[in-house]
């Protein structure tokens, strides 16, 4: 069996975590696939695309690395790749341990650790933002005294708008400190959190005014290409994203400032190859980096880029390092507009869901995902995982796609009743 697999002559990739579509796309590119995945995330649907699988909690690095070494000895692969947040650091450690190509552990750590990133940027005079680490209400009060209100309190690590709070006045200080500490008592499931100690301390930052965008990039041996700039809409009690669109409606001047900042940022953190998803606030003092990730943005941003620009960033992330996808030489031109709108019904128990068939029959419809049915519970909107579905719409322009997305999302009626 080993001889048969090795003699296939195809390059082999180790895919850490991610979704079924990622191993399917790797196979479609002509790669043999070794897949590292949580046991409950792997099923027979993976079988046509996966040659070997290693099923475990891949966040346990000490357990993961010896097993990957053994697997590599039997079925050598040329690189490890991950398109999921939880797989980024394990992937970097695998590539480093086996001497394979890939982003350095140092770069990945800089992107995962927001406090470390802030200090790194400050030392290079890039995107200055007042920040500090705290563990108590007193730490928050001292930061407020030094920098004024409002401020942001959020995890030093983690993503998905989890545990992000705005403090507007002094009365919020103790409330937010207590709410943040209470996150440590939640029964998180495997895969919810990247780090077990996520809520032992928090990052305090000055509040950045202005709208938020994200910048989607692909890097080729240190040359950064901006694929798209995504306009965002946020909602809920925190900073949960409820809508995205491409191409951006920003002025050419602002887009130029954003491009320069993000390119300088990616150089500063040492990103060399693969995708990047960098969140930026357009403040009254100019654009500022919020955070960044060496992966493709979530919330269906890749699908928007496919519609608006004809670029599948996942193909590049999986295949560019093997020479299977031709590197981009310049930012692509938009081919139309694309928007995703998230479905956020009132919290409670779902009584009825209607409108699905009409939405799917609409000419502007691209995709619909709805994760609730009658009897399910809709939680309050506090982080990205609380959203219960989405609709993706197209249009001749971004404005038309946004209008279509809002119209289609409004046509999905998820009626809830209060929980007893």
pTM surpassing 0.85?
Answer: yes
Chain CA centroid to CA 133, Å: 23
Q: Residue 6: what pLDDT?
A: 43
pLDDT band at 219 (very low <50, low <70, confident <90, very high): very high
* pLDDT (tens digit per residue) in 372-413: 999 999 988 877 677 899 999 999 999 999 999 999 999 999
Q: Residue 5: what pLDDT?
A: 40
Position 13 pLDDT exceeds 90 = yes
As a whole number, mean pLDDT of residues 258-278 equals 98
As a whole number, mean pLDDT of residues 180-207 equals 67
Mark residue 353 as left, alpha or beta (left: phi above 0; alpha: psi -120 to 50; beta: remaining).
beta
Position 162 pLDDT exceeds 80 = no
As a whole number, mean pLDDT of residues 47-63 equals 95
DSSP-derived 3-state class of residue 219? strand
What residue ranges define each of the domains in the chain, with the CATH number in brackets?
A: 12-102 (3.40.50.20), 130-206 (3.30.1490.20), 208-334 (3.30.470.20), 336-419 (3.30.470.20)
**CA-CA distance, 52 to 65, in Å (whole number)?**
16
Average pLDDT, the chain: 90
- Measured CA distances, 384 to 123, 160, 342 (Å): 32, 5, 10
Q: Residue 198: what pLDDT?
A: 54
**CA-CA distance, 341 to 406, in Å (whole number)?**
6
**CA-CA distance, 336 to 136, in Å (whole number)?**
48
Mark residue 245 as left, alpha or beta (left: phi above 0; alpha: psi -120 to 50; beta: remaining).
beta
**CA-CA distance, 234 to 217, in Å (whole number)?**
22
Burial class (CB in 10 A: 0-12, 13-18, 19+), 259: middle
* pLDDT (tens digit per residue) in 67-104: 999 999 988 999 999 999 999 999 999 999 999 999 99
Q: Residue 170: what pLDDT?
A: 83
Q: Residue 337: what pLDDT?
A: 98
Position 1 pLDDT exceeds 50 = no
Q: What is the dihedral of CA 93, 20, 6, 98, to 10 degrees?
A: 0
């Amino acid at each position: 069996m080993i001889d048969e697999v090795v003699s296939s002559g195809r390059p082999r990739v180790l895919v850490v975590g991610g979704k079924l579509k990622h191993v399917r796309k790797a196979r479609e590119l002509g790669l043999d696939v070794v897949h590292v995945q949580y046991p409950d995330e792997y099923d027979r649907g993976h079988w046509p695309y996966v040659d070997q699988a290693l099923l475990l909690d891949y966040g346990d690095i000490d357990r993961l690395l010896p097993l990957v070494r053994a697997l590599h000895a039997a079925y050598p692969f040329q690189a490890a790749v991950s398109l999921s947040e939880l797989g980024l650091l394990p992937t970097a450690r695998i590539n480093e341990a086996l001497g394979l190509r890939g982003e350095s552990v140092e770069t990945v750590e800089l992107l995962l650790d927001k406090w470390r990133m802030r200090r790194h940027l400050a030392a290079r005079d890039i995107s200055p933002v007042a920040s500090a680490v705290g563990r108590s209400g007193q730490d928050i009060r001292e930061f407020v005294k030094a920098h004024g209100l409002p401020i942001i309190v959020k995890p030093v690590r983690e993503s998905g708008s989890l545990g992000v709070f705005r403090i507007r006045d002094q009365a919020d200080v103790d409330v937010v400190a207590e709410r943040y500490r209470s996150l440590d008592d939640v029964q998180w499931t495997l895969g919810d959190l990247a780090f077990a100690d996520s809520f032992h301390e928090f990052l305090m930052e000055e509040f950045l005014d202005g709208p938020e965008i994200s910048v989607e990039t692909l890097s080729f041996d240190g040359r950064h290409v901006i694929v798209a700039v995504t306009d965002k809409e946020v909602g809920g009690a925190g900073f949960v994203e409820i809508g995205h669109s491409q191409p951006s409606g920003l002025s050419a001047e602002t887009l130029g400032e954003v491009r320069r900042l993000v390119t300088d940022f990616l150089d500063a953190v040492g990103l060399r190859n693969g995708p990047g998803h960098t969140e930026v606030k357009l403040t009254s003092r100019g654009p500022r980096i919020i955070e960044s990730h060496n992966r493709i943005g979530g919330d269906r941003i890749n699908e928007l880029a496919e519609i608006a620009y004809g670029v599948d960033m996942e193909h590049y992330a999986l295949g560019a390092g093997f020479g299977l996808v031709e590197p981009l030489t310049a930012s692509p031109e938009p081919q139309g507009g694309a928007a995703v709108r998230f479905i956020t019904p009132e919290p409670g128990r779902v009584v009825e869901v209607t409108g699905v068939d009409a939405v799917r029959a609409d000419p502007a419809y691209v995709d619909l995902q709805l994760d609730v049915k009658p009897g399910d519970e809709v939680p309050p909107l506090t982080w990205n995982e609380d959203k219960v579905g989405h609709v993706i719409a197209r249009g001749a322009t971004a404005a038309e796609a946004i209008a279509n997305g809002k119209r289609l999302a409004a046509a999905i009626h998820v009626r809830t009743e209060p929980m007893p």
